[in-house]
Each structure stands twice: as C-alpha cells, then as structure tokens.
A and B are shown apart, each in its own frame.
Chain A
Amino acid sequence: MNEIATFDPFSPDAGTHQGGALDGHALVQGDYGTAVLGYDLASKVLRDKRFQNSALRLMEEFGITSGPVHDFRARSIIMLEGDRHLRLRLPLARFMSPVTVKNTRDVLRRIVESINADLDDSAPVDFYRGVAQRIPSLVYCHLAGAPASDAPQVQSLSERTLSLLTRDRSLTPVIVEAYDELFAYLAGLIARKRAEGLGDDMLSYLISLGDEGKLTEQEVLAEATSMLEASSVNTAHQAGLVVWTLLRDREAWQRIVADPELIPAAVVESLRLFPRTGVVSKIAVEDVELEGTVIPKGSDVHVAVWSANRDPEKFEHSEEFDLDRERNQPLTFSTGSHNCLGQGLAKAEIEEVVRHLAEHYPGARVVEDATRIDQAGGRWLIGKLTVDLKP
C-alpha cells in the first residue's frame, strides 16, 4: 500500500485524482496519516464509532489546549458518543430535519426574495457576496429568534470560527477571538430572550430545556455555539458552488427551468461533484484494521469525501453531471451518527436559491472571467462568483 505514499489529500493538486481508489487502493497513507478514497470504505469509516472527529486535536495542535474554547469543543456534539451525544443531537434535529424544514419553506422563500429585491440586475452581480453569503445567516437568525440585523455578525463569526479547518496555524488568535466574541454574543442574546420572554424558536427551546433540567447550562451554550459556528460559511460556499455548476451546464439548466421538480436532484448532483466539505478528518480511538491495514490508535484518518463522491465503482460516469441518477447519496454531508444535522435545511436553502433563479432569471449566466472557483485538497470554495442575471 505504501508504494503510493506520495498521494497527499491536502496538496493543492489532490483534486486531479479522478476519484475512487488510486491504482486499486481505496486506502492510502503518507505523512498526513491515512486517506480513504473509495466510496464504500469512506461510508464504513464515517459510520464507525472507533473513529472520532479530529476537531479537538486540531485545536490542540493550534495551541488551544485549555480555556473556554477548548472546553466547548471537548463537550460539543461532534465529540460525544452514546446517550450524551443523542441528548444534544435531538433538540437541534427537531428544528432542522427535512420534516420540519417543510414548514420553514415559506420563510426561506421570503429571505431569498428579500435579498434579490436589493440586487441591481441590470449589470452582472457578485452572486457570492450579494446573495449566497447573505442567506444562511439570515436563516440562522430566524431559527434562533435573533433580529435579522444580527446576520452580518453571525456570518462573520461562522466564517472566523470554522477557519480552523483551513489548517493554517497563523489563524489561532483570530479563532480564539472569534469564539470569545461568539460566546459573548450568545450570552447577550440569551439574556435578552429571557428578559423579553421565550418564543417558539430553537434558542428559546434550548433555554427551556435548560430550565427544565434536561440540559445543563453549559450544554445549552454548547448547543447554541455549535449551531452558530456551523450556520453560515459552508452553506454559503455550497450554494455558490451549486449555482456555478448548474448555470454552466446549459442543457441541465434548461431542463430545470422547464421542470422545477428537478431542482432537488440537481442540487444533490451538484453537491456530489463539488462538495464544500471535501475532507472529513477523524482520529482512530483504538487500533482499527481496515482493508488488511492496521490503523494505529491516535492516528489521523482523512475521509476524502470528494474522491468517494466521484468513485467510478459507485457512480457510473462519475465525473459527469447527471440529473437522472437513482439513489444518489453522495457523502457531502457525511453519514453515520455524526452526519450533518443541518443538511435538510442547507439543501432547502440552496433549492430555494436555484428556484428563484430558474423562475426569475432563466437566462442567467456565469461571467467566467470575473469568477474564480478554488479547490484545495478537495475542499471547493468560491473565490468570486459573478452572474449576469439578464444577459
């Protein structure tokens, strides 16, 4: 297996790998630890409780080894298993599952419409900053029962806290400062909600679970923090990536415009090809044997979701956009007990952005020379996305 140790999932050119096993190996190793490239093995690892999220260790490697930020991460939903995990997962799931999102569709539509009403569509628009980036934080404010005027701060907090995942150590002071600001913001919001009376929003629900003794005060804050950090930045990039994908495939776009029922499938297929969270990093909590190789306790295992999503063993013509795939289950939102809780909401937000474009701007086009899509180690992101809405 080690003959292909030169493959590095974090190298800038990692994405030139077509996807799936490399020279027949679904598992490869190098200085970074182990990388999982094939779909079936990736699903297995993501479902396996012997692998834990690496976020806490990444923080420790960044020098955040104690204090409130470290404490939060250690107690947060992504790090826990069993009953403690479920106790934190269920209250959030209640507000974001596909079943509940049905009731939020009208709100999502209004948010998308209000943002588009601000746009000057007579010239090409900065679609990422003008639209995609603004929506998720407004949705968070709605869910959390915060004023919409908080949205820019929420967006910025999400972006700065999750910048940990870029693995750039120079960002440590930015990250710590962002969490401190986030804790203070939430403490203020919670105090205001108590003073004004609780509503039927998610944060009020969490506070009332705390009051009933079903969650500790620390857990209430950890839940609210997890929600906020994850609220905006990934959804914003992913929405941009989906729009970029769909507007450039004119044949698919014409079908979507003619038949909006295709939008959910179109969104999933775009998420498959261009996942924002292209790598999910885990740590083995014990020695684990995979494909005849022992992964030693404590070592890093990087699940290359972008590669699994393009595995030709799983997806026919895996590099092609295909609106008609059946049972299309990319691993963009991970899988297993720690899969993305907000996926139903994120997909609904992106669907509503696409629906709005298809209804109001069927001729919209990407302005290629004013657009930059970056990809680092399988993590796709929008540098700049310019769209001519009425070419």
Chain B
Amino acid sequence: MIKVKVDFDRCDANGTCAALMPDVFRIGDDGLLEQLRTEVDPGREAELEEVIVCCPVGAIARG
C-alpha cells in the first residue's frame, strides 16, 4: 500500500484532491478537508501522483 500524507497546515481546502480521489479526500460540511484513507492500493499510484502534482498549495505527499 502507498501511504498518503496531508499537510493540514498548508491545506486550504480548495478541493482539487477531493474531486480527483473522492474515496480518499472529502470536503466536509464545515468546508474543511477530511482525509478518508491514509493508504491507497499500489495500482492507484498514477492517480495519486496526479493529486500530488495538482494540489495548488503542495499539501499532499506520499508518506
């Protein structure tokens, strides 16, 4: 499994990640980001890579 790390000090809840991997990230009712999973299947490496590269504040990384 690949570990997924969110830097919540950087996160501004813009929701790009939640749109790309909705089963891993979600914007909660309070408008803030919730991380639903801390690991993803190795088969989803490319998907995760896209999320990491597309986060405009650089808040997501592989653990």
Interface residues of chain A, those whose CB is within 8 Å of chain B, are 43-44, 47, 86, 89-90, 93-94, 96-100, 326-327, 329, 333, 335-337, 339-341, 343-344
Contacts and interface: CB of A to CB of B under 8 A. Distances in A.
Given A47-B15, A100-B53, 16 more contacts: A44-B31, A47-B27, A86-B16, A97-B55, A98-B57, A98-B58, A326-B9, A327-B9, A329-B12, A333-B56, A335-B12, A335-B14, A336-B13, A337-B14, A339-B12, A343-B57
B9, B13, B54, B58, most chain A CB atoms within 10 A: B54
Interface of B: 9, 12-16, 19-20, 27, 31, 50, 52-58
Given A44-B31, A327-B9, A94 B15 contact: no
> Looking at chain A's contact residues, is the secondary structure mostly helix, strand, loop, or mixed?
helix
Ranked nearest first, the 9 interchain pairs of A and B with the lowest CB-CB distance are: A98-B58, A93-B54, A335-B12, A339-B14, A337-B15, A47-B31, A99-B53, A327-B9, A86-B19
Contacts of B56: 93, 96-98, 333, 339-341, 343-344
Contacts of B52: 99
Contacts, number: 61
A97 B13 contact: no
B27, B31, B50, most chain A CB atoms within 10 A: B31
Nearest to B19: A86
Contact of A90 (B14, B15, B54, B58): B54
Contact of B19 (A94, A96, A337): A337
Contacts of B20: 86, 90
